[in-house]
Each structure stands twice: as C-alpha cells, then as structure tokens.
Amino acid sequence: MSESVFTVPVGPQHPALKEPENITLTLDGEQIVDAKIRLGYVHRGAEKAFENRTYVQNLYLVERVCGICAMAHQLCYANNVEALLGVEAPPRAKYIRTIVAELERIHSHLLWVGVAGHEIGFDTLFMYTWQDREVALDLMERITGNRVLHATNSIGGVRRDITSDMIPQIKKGLAYLGERTKYYKKIALTEKTIAKRAVGVGVLKTQDAIALCAVGPTARASNIKRDVRKYDPYSAYDEIPFDIVTNDGCDVAARILVRIDELEQCARILEYAVDKLPQGPIKVRVPRSVPPGENVSLVEAPRGEDIHYCKSNGSDRPERYKIRAPTLANWASMKKMLIGGSMADVPIVLAAIDPCMSCTDRVAFVDAKSGKTWAWSYEQLKKYAQKRSER
Amino acid sequence: MDIIGLLIFPGLAFLLALAWFYEWLDRKFFARLQNRYGPLYTGSHGLLQPLADFIKLLAKEDIEPTAVDKPLFRGVPILILALPLTALFLIPMSGVNAFVHFEGDLIFTIFIMSLLAIMAFLGGWSSTNRFSTLGGLRAAMQTLGYEVPLAIVLIGPAIVARSLSITKIVEWQVVNGIWMIALAPIGFGITILATLAELEKVPFDIPGAETEIVAGWQTEFSGRKLALMRLALDIELVLAAGLTTALFLGGPSGPIALIPSVVWFLIKSTVVVLILSNLRALFARFKIDQMISGSWKYLVPLAILQIVILQLLLR
C-alpha cells in the first residue's frame, strides 16, 4: 500500500450516524479502497425479554423494537400469534391495520427523504419533508391515539375503530400529502445538485442485490420486483389494488425515486381502504394461552421484509421469539456499495438503506477461531461486564 | 479622531456589531426559508443570539489535545480573526473613502482572502485529527477551485476604473453614476458563488461537511478558539458583502443624497447577505471533485469572458 492510504473510523459516534455502528474506511485520498463493518453496539436483549412476558404484554414490547416501523413489527407479531391460535382478525380490523401500516410507510419514507437530504447537505429538503410528515403523524394520532408507538393491534383485531368523522380528515390529509409527493418527485428529478450527489453513487447491481439478499426499497431500486404485500399478502393487501414500484437505476437516486413513488402507491392503497372499509366487529376474543406450535410471519415494513418467528409451548408466554429486522438483510450489500466511492458518498450511501441499528443488533457468543458457541446467564454476563470495567 | 475611528466607527465596535447582526440576519432568513423560526429568545427576535453564542463559547473549556502542533493550533484562531478585520478597513463604509486606502489595496484584499484559506488548511493540519486533516485538505483544494475565477472577476472593475484601489473604484462609480453590476453582471454572479465557497456555505460547505467529516478542519477547536473562529467567519461575511457592495453595487452611495452613506452601505450589503442566505437554502452539497471541475469548466471561462466583454465595452 502506498503512503497516501489511511484509515478513517466512521462511528460508533459520528454525525452521519443516527445510531451507533462502526465502519472503518481505508481511504486513498478521498477514494474508498476498503470498508470494514462492525455491528452490535445497541444490543438490547429484546428477544430474551419476550420469553418473560405474556402474549398480551409482548404486543407492547414488540412495538418498541423500532420507533419508526412500530406498526410493522406489531402487525407481524399479531399475525404470528393469531396463526398459532388459529383465529383470523375480522375484515374491518384488517382494513384498519392496513390503513395504519400505510400511514406509517408514508411517515417513514418522508422521514427518510428528509434524512437523505440532510446527508447530502440539503437541509431545506429535510425541514420541508419533516414538516409534511407531521400530517401523517397527526392522522395516526387521530386514528390510534398515538403519534409514534400506536398500540393499534390487539391479538385478534384492533384496539380502536375508525369512526365516520375521521374519514374526511384522512382524505384531506391524503390530498395534501399527494400534492407534496408530486412536489418532492419534481425536486428529486430536476434538482441538479441532488442528481450530482445521487446518480451513479452506491451502485448495487441487480445480480448483487439478489446474491446478497437485499430487501425492501433497496432491492426494488436494484430492479427486483419483490414485495411481501404481493407474494405473501397479509391483512387486506390481497384485496387492495396497488403496484410494486421498481427502478433500474441501482443507485442512490433510484432509491430516492422508489421511495417517493411508493408514497404515491401508499396514498392509492389508503384511498381504496378508506372507501371500501367493511362494516362489522373490530376484534374477536382469544384465549390467553397459545397451543404448542411454530410459526413464521412476514410483513413488508417500510425498510423491507420483516421476519418474525414464534415458538409456543401451550403456556401464556412464548418459548422463543425471533425477529429479523429488514436492516440486517440490507447490511450485507453495504460493503459492495461503499467500495470505489468517495468519502463524501459515505453518509448518503449509508442512509440509503434506511438503517435501523437497534432493531437489528443481536448478541451471540462465538469464538471466532474455533467456531465454538455458548450461552451465558445474566449473572455470568454481569460478572464479565464488571471484570471488564475494573480499572 | 483616528482612535475613535479605529475603535468605534467605522472601526472595531461597528464591525463586530455588524458581524453579529449579519449572522443573525443570515440565520433568521435561512430559517424562515426552511419554515423554521431561527433565533427567537435572546433579545428582540433573537437579535442578540450570535453575541450570546460568542460569550457562551468564550466561557467554555478550551481543550487542547496532546498531539496537536501547539504554536500553530493557538495561532490559527487569532490570525483567522485578525486577517479579515484588517481587510475590512480597506472597504469604504461611511463615505466614498475607506478608513485606509492606497493604490493596490484590492490586490491586498484578494491576498488576505487567499491567506484565510491557507489558515483553514493550517488549522486542520495542526489538529492532527483525521477528520481535520481531510477537512484542511478539502479547504486547500477548494481554494484551487474558486480563487482563480474570483481574482479574475474582481480585477474587472479595476480595469474599468483604471485603478487597483477599492476607494478609487467606488469613486469612479459615484462620478459616472453607474454601478459596475450593469457593466459586469457575470462578474457579480461569480463573486457571489465564490463568496459561498470562501465562507464554506452550502453548496460549497465541503471542508466542514458535517455528515461526512464531523466539523472538518474545525473539529478539534473548542472554547475560546472556536469562538474566535466563528466570529472570524462572521467578519468574513461582512468583508465579502462589503467588497461586493464596493466593487459592483456602487459602494456607500445612493440616488437620494439625504440618506447618509453608511445607510446605503448597510442596505446594499444586507441585500448581498440575503442573496447568499437564499442561495444556501436552495442546493445540496457538491463533492470536492465536482466543485473543482465545475469551477474550471464553467467559472474560469466565464470570468475570462467577462474581462473580454469589459475590454470591448471600454473601447
């Protein structure tokens, strides 16, 4: 290596990162020649916590896996437990779930467009989108009672009904958001400085995206037509018409456009769901204990395919609960996107997969040399931490 | 009389007040463009916020990492403030004549503006922090981009007025009753763009790009040193606005004779500051290679074209 090569640590603390992760970049001038990615700074022990709580209590824990896709995780959990119980939510509940899930997608994508703008130094875009995102948050507050952690679902249905006076409000909000979406699309397509920073940056070719199992908008921006809502429909998605948005750009610009186009589809789904909202009950009563069994459920979270696995043993608590957040699937392709780019591209390429670290991080004990794995009790872990922090 | 001139008007006190006022104006206008409020609580409409920030930073702990190059690290904040303050005395503010003026002070001002970029590089280099080093290198490279077109277009008014003194150029505009911007509109545009790069503002905030390299060359500076450097940036804003006003907008003079010349200066330089604020709300940040190649591909030929047009006009 020549002398001009040096390493720059991005993270665990860095202004481009909203949550801790570490990427050690090897730079030649401004060009990235190598990148080492390290995760695991925000492990929270959520999966273990599931085993100590009842199924009803877990409804509120699972939301806290992610503050932005709270509804996606809770919906996935509710679907999972309902499948184990052998019950199905009533049609009206399914539609309400769809409505809240799509509102959440709108809020998440608007948030992301703003963050992307901030990462490339376009703070005005950030301020604009975050202001418009308030409309989606207010609608969610009107429907569920909460802006962020909605607690919409209960096992077997939803907690609160959509009353008839909410419908005009939802439609008014949607009309405004639709107008703003058109405006953002115009900006993304015509603003030259955005194009300069996004076109041809962080390229992930279609075959690489398939090989590295990219999911969600990241995969769709690499021209892979894949969406859980279509290939494994849940809630009301099998009845509602919408299109999978793809883009063959394979770069950051494509990821921006895919998300903005998805905003349009969200509005389309919402209009249909609000118009065709079926009458009837919003939940069914279910027993507290779940019969023994295993189930996997999938949900298309705003960041991509969210996988939950649940193993029940006949009691009122799950025996094992496993969550694979979409960010983990997208991390594998990060190295591919970074190498060959420049230091200035790092923030936007990182942000383009919409990473959510605390949803992703899990802990496992592995000896890297021998490949041996083991488990530690809480006491052992505490002892180890105390030993490490002794001076 | 000279002491009063040096310390109060149009000297230090006036310049500092102006610097903080323009920082407030820039922040407030930028915030309103982004649907924010901006400074709000300190003083009327947050007018005293920049001063409050300055005092707060002065009181903060001044951390000097062990690895820094101490003499340079301590010298840079002082020099970076002293240099633009010196140059400001060459700008006519309260009358056609500047406080200090001599034949060739335009060249001296351009020289000081180059020194400022070198100070940024030295500041980054002396910090021995990776982000600072990268930021310093970017600051130095950015200079290669904007310095040449800026110097060329600033010479344009000098060619028309047949003098290298800023004061003489202002005099020429007053005597002939025409502003340079009418003769050299391209020059005015390039000056504004180069000023954005000089002040490290969006879309040219590359040396201090927050999301990429933390605070760039300023990363290691804290407390008093950071306070001085932030003040220096405000003074640079006054310098840039003042120089643009003097060279292109007719300096401190206006069509209504009753209004004192300093008011004309304030009006015109405020307009320049608002143009700068407006521009930085419009764009995303360029990459350093895009900035330099764009500058050499478009700005330099345009600057030369401007000089050619001026020569043809003079004939």
Instruction: Using CB atoms, pick whichever of B209, B288, B289 lies closest to residue A121.
Output: B209
Question: pTM higher than 0.95, yes or no?
Answer: no
Percent of chain B with pLDDT over 90: 20
Domains and CATH numbers, chain A: 46-331 (1.10.645.10)
pLDDT-derived band of residue A3, with 50, 70 and 90 as boundaries? Answer: low
The string over B99-122, giving b where at least 16 C-beta atoms fall within 10 Å of a residue's C-beta and e elsewhere, is bbbeeebbebbbebbebbbbbbbb
B166-176 and B130-161 helices cross at what angle (nearest 10)?
40
3-state helix vs strand vs coil in chain B, percent to 5: 70, 0, 30
**In this predicted model, what pLDDT tens digit does every residue of A105-157 receive, in sequence order?**
999 999 999 988 888 888 888 999 999 999 999 999 999 888 888 888 889 88
Instruction: Work out the mean pLDDT of chain A and round it to a whole number.
Output: 88
A-B CB pairs within 8 A amount to 79
Instruction: Check pLDDT > 50 for residue A343.
Output: yes
Closest chain B residue to A17, measured at CA: B211
**Per-residue pLDDT tens digits for A199-232:** 888 888 889 888 988 898 999 999 888 888 888 8
Q: What is the pLDDT of residue B270?
A: 92
- ipTM rounded to 2 decimals: 0.82
β-pairing, A304-312 with A293-301? antiparallel
Residues in chain A with CB shorter than 8 Å from the CB of B278 are none
Per-residue model confidence (pLDDT) at position A1 = 44
| pLDDT for the residue numbered B50 | 92
| Contact criterion met (CB below 8 Å) for A37 and A335 | yes
Q: Let me know: does B279 contact B157? Beta carbons within 8 Å.
A: no
Torsion B170-B172-B175-B176 (CA) sign: negative
Mean pLDDT of B158-177: 86
Cα A196 to Cα A112, A251, B284, B287: the distances in Å are 19, 12, 9, 8
Q: How confident is the model at residue B21 (pLDDT cuts 50, 70, 90)?
A: very high
CB contact under 8 A, A121 and B284: yes
* A350 pLDDT higher than 90: no
- Per-residue pLDDT at B245 exceeds 70: yes
Instruction: Provide φ and ψ at A278, rounded to 5°.
Output: -70, 155
Cross-chain Cβ contact A343/B34 below 8 Å: no
Q: Per-residue pLDDT averaged across B105-127, rounded?
A: 89
Are A121 and B134 within 8 A, CB to CB? no
Asked whether residue A78 carries a pLDDT value surpassing 60, the answer given is yes
Residue A391: what pLDDT? 66
Spatial contact of A321 and A308, defined as CB atoms under 8 Å apart:
yes
The residue of chain B nearest to residue A343, with distances taken between CA atoms, is B212
Residue B24 has pLDDT above 90, yes or no: yes
Q: Which residues of B touch A343 (CB under 8 A)?
A: 134, 212-213
